[in-house]
Amino acid sequence: MRAIKRYDRRGFTLVELMIVVAIIGVLAALAIYGVRRYLASAKTSEAKNTVGAIARGAVAAYERETSASAILAGGTSSAVASHSLCESTGVDAPGHGPVPAAMTSVRGTKYQPSTADAADFNTGTSLGGWKCLKFSMTQPIYYQYNYTKGARTGVSGASPDPTATGFEAGAQGDLDGDGTDFSAFARGGNVVNGEVVLATQVFIENEYE
Average pLDDT score over residue span 46-71: 87
Residue 193, pLDDT above cutoff 60? yes
> Of all residues in the chain, what percent are helix, strand and coil, respectively (each to 5)?
30, 20, 50
Contact call for residues 85 and 60 (beta carbons, < 8 A): no
Split at pLDDT 50, 70, 90, the class of 7 is low
Split at pLDDT 50, 70, 90, the class of 96 is low
Residue 70, pLDDT above cutoff 80? no
Split at pLDDT 50, 70, 90, the class of 19 is confident
Number of H helices, E strands in the chain: 2, 5
- Rounded-to-integer distance, Cα 95 and Cα 128, Å: 10
CB atoms < 10 A from the CB of 67, how many?
Answer: 10
**Residue 195 backbone phi and psi in degrees, to 5:** -125, 145
47 burial level (CB within 10 Å; 0-12, 13-18, 19+): buried
Task: Identify the pLDDT of residue 94.
Answer: 47
- Rounded-to-integer distance, Cα 161 and Cα 199, Å: 10
Average pLDDT score over residue span 145-174: 91
Residue 86, pLDDT above cutoff 70? yes
Tell me the Cα Rg of the chain. 28
